[in-house]
Amino acid sequence: MTAAWLVAARRTAVMPRGGAFARLGLADLATPVIAACLADAGIAPGAVDELVLSNALGAGGNPARLVALAAGLPETVAGVTLDRQCAGGLDALLIARALILAGQADVVLAGGVESYSRRPLRLRTDPDGGPALAYDQPPFTPWPDRDPPMVMAAEALAQALGITRAKQDDWVVASHAKAMAAGAGPEIVALPQGSADGFARALTPALAARARVLAGSITAANAAVAADGAAFGLVVSDRVARNLPRALRLAAGATLGGRPEEPGLAPVAAIARALTQAGLAASDLALAEVMEAYAVQAIACVQGAGLDPARVNTGGGALARGHPVGASGAVLAVRLFHDLQAGYGLATIAAAGGIGTALVLQAE
């Protein structure tokens, strides 16, 4: 195969933890999105060769197989679940691309789904027989001193790069304003529980200034909220794409590890690698979707990669939507698919442990 093509891409709305999607399980969120992708492309469920699904909080059990069966895909679709935390949704699309280019599949559904509201409680057993201890963040490195909580890593990044709270608050206010102006686009699959992102609001500088401080310059306003949601893309081979009305080429992509204690900067190297693969400079990009887990992380990636801020997150970002961890990367790709009308676009995300992923799409 000479290329892999994204021919449909949809998502649910993103709802804050404990909100409108709080009673929905992974299959409840994912299956309507999968059905919409197949319908958009006019491809029957029976034509799907594989489902690659990112999930970070579901505690195993291969949710991809659960979702594949619930979505009415053939029983031959085994489904593969990956956990690269925030980067997983984009990595699922890169894996789909690799399967297509290797000639192992013609039609692959790829994306992510997360229910932060219904995530299992985590307990670490005591080998000496004592009571199990609850924990929230698992270890992402073998070195505790290089494995900071994400909030502390964000604050360290702000201090290292001199990115003030004022700059972060300006970014988050702009993110909400852009999201409010864009409204609910055609990328969203309406569910009975909601058809528009549930968190975007008319955030003012005064409101941002009053937000609860999490650590230093990091506040409840300039950090993305935990959320529920699903997003998928349909990736196909040349043979399938040639008969479809819309197809964006997955031109390049890269996932790279960086310094574990600096997860916010990891996408910069991945962006450079992906742009080099595509034979592009940052200035060649028409649009970019950059993850906003924290405003400081988005600012650092835009600056470090030399992206044009005017072309970044033109419809708002995760600070205005929320962060359904395993699905967030796929949400970026879905938005890019719908907004990119010509030229090249970038989707990029950082993940715990110092991981960055970047994907370049081309609208021909």
Residue 60 confidence (pLDDT): 81
DSSP H helical ranges for the chain: 26-41, 63-70, 88-101, 150-161, 165-182, 205-209, 238-241, 266-278, 295-305, 318-321, 328-339
Using the predicted structure, report yes or no on whether residue 115 has a pLDDT greater than 80.
yes
Whole-angstrom Cα distance, residue 176 to residue 257? 30
| 86: annotated active-site residue | yes
CATH 3.40.50.620 at 5-118+224-363, yes or no: no
- Whole-angstrom CA distances from 295 to 165, 198, 229, 271 are 9, 19, 21, 18
Q: Count other C-beta atoms under 10 Å from residue 338's C-beta.
A: 17
Using the predicted structure, report yes or no on whether residue 108 has a pLDDT greater than 90.
yes
| 176: annotated active-site residue | no
5, 20, 138, 115: which is closest to 67 by C-alpha?
115
| Residues 32-83: tens digit of each pLDDT | 999 999 999 999 999 999 999 999 998 789 999 999 999 999 999 999 999 9
Determine contact, residues 64/304, Cβ cutoff 8 Å.
no
Whole-angstrom Cα distance, residue 299 to residue 296? 5
Predicted TM-score (pTM) of the model is: 0.96
Using the predicted structure, report yes or no on whether residue 22 has a pLDDT greater than 70.
yes
Determine contact, residues 321/184, Cβ cutoff 8 Å.
no
DSSP H helical ranges for 17-164: 26-41, 63-70, 88-101, 150-161
**Selected catalytic residue, list 37, 176, 301, 323:** 323
Mean of per-residue pLDDT scores for the chain: 96
168: left (phi over 0), alpha (psi -120 to 50) or beta: alpha
Determine contact, residues 229/327, Cβ cutoff 8 Å.
yes
Domain ranges of the chain: 5-118+224-363
CA-derived radius of gyration, the chain: 19
- Among all chains, which residue has been given the structure tokens 């600012």? 299
Amino acid letter, 137: Q
Residue 243 confidence (pLDDT): 86
Whole-angstrom Cα distance, residue 113 to residue 330? 9
What's the whole-number mean pLDDT along residues 133-162?
Answer: 94
**Selected catalytic residue, list 37, 86, 176, 301:** 86
Cα 327 to the center of its chain, rounded Å: 5
Cα 115 to the center of its chain, rounded Å: 14
Using the predicted structure, report yes or no on whether residue 158 has a pLDDT greater than 90.
yes
What's the whole-number mean pLDDT along residues 142-151?
Answer: 94
Angle separating helix axes 150-161 and 295-305, nearest 10 degrees: 50
The dihedral of CA 200, 205, 210, 214: what is its sign? positive
For residue 77, the SS3 value is coil
- The phi, psi pair for 355, rounded to 5°, reads -120, 140
Using the predicted structure, report yes or no on whether residue 1 has a pLDDT greater than 70.
no
Confidence of residue 344 (pLDDT cuts 50, 70, 90): very high
For 58-64, which contacts have Cβ atoms below 8 Å and span 24 or more sequence positions? Answer: 58/26, 58/114, 58/115, 58/119, 58/120, 58/326, 59/119, 59/120, 59/122, 63/26, 63/113
Determine contact, residues 150/61, Cβ cutoff 8 Å.
no
- Give the end-to-end CA distance of the chain in Å, rounded to a whole number: 18
Using the predicted structure, report yes or no on whether residue 101 has a pLDDT greater than 80.
yes
Using the predicted structure, report yes or no on whether residue 296 has a pLDDT greater than 70.
yes
| Residues 181-193: tens digit of each pLDDT | 998 889 999 999 9
Residue 4 confidence (pLDDT): 98
**What are the E-state strand segments in 59-137?**
80-82, 107-115, 123-124, 133-134
DSSP 8-state symbol, 300: H
